[in-house]
Amino acid sequence: MSRGDHNSRVRLFGTNGIREVVGERLTPPFVVRVAGAIARTTPIGPPILVGRDGRTSSPAISAIVASTLALAGHRVVQVGTLPTPAIQYNVLRLQAQLGVVVTASHNPPEFNGLKCIAGDGLEVLRPVEEAIEEAVSREEGLAVRYDAVGEVVDDHQGAQRYVDGILGQVDVAAIQRAHPRVVLDCGNGASVVTSPTLLRRLGCRLVTLNGQLDGTFPGHLSEPTPENLADLVRTVPAVGADLGVAHDGDADRAVFVDEKGTYLPGERILTLLAQEFVRRHPGGVVVTPVSASQSVEDVVRALGGEVVYTRVGSPVVTREMQRRHAVFGGEENGGLIFPAFQLARDGAMTAAAVLELLATRGLTLSEAVKDLPAYTLVKEKVPCPVDKREAVLEALAASATREGGRVVTLDGLKIFVEDGWLLLRPSGTEPLIRVFAESKQPERARALARDGLERVGAALAALGA
């Protein structure tokens, strides 16, 4: 699926890199074109690091990427199969100027993709991707002479470097003393090579589900939804575990099941750890997208901290965290960011941080989250022609501003009301506007969502759509 742009450039990168179906759009020539464009937009200099997730197509695609870069004159370090955050960590540690990650994160098995990591370990922002997209559309010569071909070396220490790094971030002795029983669901994804080792070294008594790398995802699809994690939900109480943790396919996310077998939505752990880090760093800044639950702001403000909102998408969140020297950040989908370690969504670091919190406080996971503010989030959508979306949102922003109250227009339109909020956001891929509404009272959340749908409908009618 190609998304046209203002000029001849074709948009390839979505919010989290390129994602395509293998054998359809994602073919060898396509990979060569993109890797060639990355090669041309990167000056010859420090090496480029290439890593991959555990999909069936990942070894072959990363071999094409590495070969294309080397034949264009770049030195390449191949780190093999690793979680995306481990690749980000190694980009910085190995002083690479860029990382290329072959992954489709949590997508179904037929997908794969590419994303780029800057030399500082952060995901690259749109301008870098735009430069690559422009280079893709220019069919320029690529190969260098035999005496300028870059060398390709393999590095086998990436997993250990990353696990050691996380162990340096938490109170290992406290977790070892607590000796928690943990069920880990790797979902047959990239976390297989790091999370079991990490949890064992933290002193956990470990039961592992789907703990072998298998890109057909035989256990369940790799999006960590409650439906996909039914086995984990059942196993945690069945084996008397203290908690369950699951990663998505590239392990930049972690979601949790408490000791009673209750699946905790991502925003619960986001809120729990936001509270924890602001407690440790009084007055600290927490960065999260406009779609995050109000519970984050509630707990952070109560401790004198500050919440900074961004557009949706982890590259934007991490850059804002860097700019604001944030103490913590993340998304409500379980992608949490620990800046003292690295500015990357990090599933294994999240697991270690939760285990540390429980061990040092002597709490069970259900006790730890029980007093957090609880909200109901309602998600709706309303059809809206793509060419009308901007005008609709502008009209709605103007009327919301006239009504008074707090309005945030970073990404769509977020209207704060006394007992909740309403977010109207254009979909990135479909002709519709998404309506999110949140309140402590479920009925109020539903009423806010209805109000949102009506506002969009009225604005469309006024525009004659």
Which is closer to Mg ion, CB of 214 or CB of 248? Answer: 248
DSSP code of residue 265: P
Q: Which residue is nearest to Mg ion (CB)?
A: 105
Q: Which stretch binds Mg ion (CB under 5 A): 20-28, 98-106, 132-140, 179-187?
A: 98-106
From candidates 105, 107, 112, 271, binder to Mg ion by CB under 5 A: 105
Of 103, 353, 82, residue with least CA distance to 222: 103
* Residue 53 is a binding residue for Mg ion (CB under 5 A): no
Distances (CA, A) of 306 to 142, 197, 299, 421: 48, 35, 10, 18
Which is closer to Mg ion, CB of 83 or CB of 203? Answer: 83
The alpha helices in 172-308, defined as continuous H runs, are 172-178, 195-201, 230-238, 266-280, 294-302
DSSP code of residue 192: G
Rounded Cα distance between 93 and 89, Å, is 6
Catalytic residue among 58, 62, 105, 293: 105
Q: Which stretch binds Mg ion (CB under 5 A): 28-36, 241-249, 404-412, 425-433?
A: 241-249
Q: Count other Cβ atoms within 10 Å, centred on residue 407.
A: 16
Shortest gap between Cβ of 335 and Mg ion (angstroms)?
Answer: 7
Of 299, 342, 294, 341, residue with least CA distance to 318: 342
x/- site string to Mg ion, residues 204 to 223, per CB under 5 A?
Answer: --------------------
Q: Which stretch binds Mg ion (CB under 5 A): 231-239, 243-251, 289-297, 315-323?
A: 243-251
Counting residues that bind Mg ion (by CB under 5 A) gives 4
Q: Count other Cβ atoms within 10 Å, centred on residue 462.
A: 12
Rounded Cα distance between 178 and 347, Å, is 21
Shortest gap between Cβ of 207 and Mg ion (angstroms)?
Answer: 23
* Residue 331 is a binding residue for Mg ion (CB under 5 A): no
Shortest gap between Cβ of 350 and Mg ion (angstroms)?
Answer: 12
Shortest gap between Cβ of 396 and Mg ion (angstroms)?
Answer: 32
The token pair that represents 118 in the structure block: 């800057």
58 burial type by CB count under 10 A (0-12 exposed, 13-18 middle, 19+ buried): buried
Which is closer to Mg ion, CB of 214 or CB of 252? Answer: 252
Which is closer to Mg ion, CB of 327 or CB of 344? Answer: 344
Rounded Cα distance between 245 and 108, Å, is 20
Q: Which stretch binds Mg ion (CB under 5 A): 104-112, 219-227, 285-293, 405-413?
A: 104-112
From candidates 20, 252, 276, 411, binder to Mg ion by CB under 5 A: 252
Q: Parallel, antiparallel, or unpaired for β 152-154 and 48-52? A: unpaired
Helices 126-137 and 28-41 pack at an angle, to 10 degrees, of 120
Q: Which stretch binds Mg ion (CB under 5 A): 151-159, 160-168, 244-252, 413-421?
A: 244-252
* Residue 248 is a binding residue for Mg ion (CB under 5 A): yes
Shortest gap between Cβ of 129 and Mg ion (angstroms)?
Answer: 17
Shortest gap between Cβ of 252 and Mg ion (angstroms)?
Answer: 4
Rounded Cα distance between 152 and 143, Å, is 15
Backbone angles phi, psi at 142, to 5 degrees: -130, -45
Distances (CA, A) of 443 to 351, 400, 419, 450: 34, 22, 12, 11
Shortest gap between Cβ of 119 and Mg ion (angstroms)?
Answer: 21
For the chain, state the CA radius of gyration.
23
Task: Give yes or no: 58 in active site.
Answer: no
Shortest gap between Cβ of 81 and Mg ion (angstroms)?
Answer: 14
AA letter at 127? P
Shortest gap between Cβ of 173 and Mg ion (angstroms)?
Answer: 31
Which is closer to Mg ion, CB of 85 or CB of 211? Answer: 85
Under 8 Å between Cβ of 318 and 340: no
From candidates 250, 259, 276, 438, binder to Mg ion by CB under 5 A: 250
Which is closer to Mg ion, CB of 250 or CB of 346? Answer: 250
Rounded Cα distance between 447 and 424, Å, is 14
Q: Which stretch binds Mg ion (CB under 5 A): 100-108, 239-247, 257-265, 365-373?
A: 100-108
Which is closer to Mg ion, CB of 248 or CB of 356? Answer: 248
Which is closer to Mg ion, CB of 119 or CB of 347? Answer: 347
Q: Parallel, antiparallel, or unpaired for β 111-118 and 18-21? A: antiparallel
Please, what's the b/e burial string for 178-213 (b: 16 or more CB within 10 A of its CB; e: otherwise)?
Answer: bebbbbbbbbbbbbbbbbbbbbebbbbebbbbbbeb
Site residues for Mg ion per CB under 5 A: 105, 248, 250, 252
Positions marked catalytic = 105
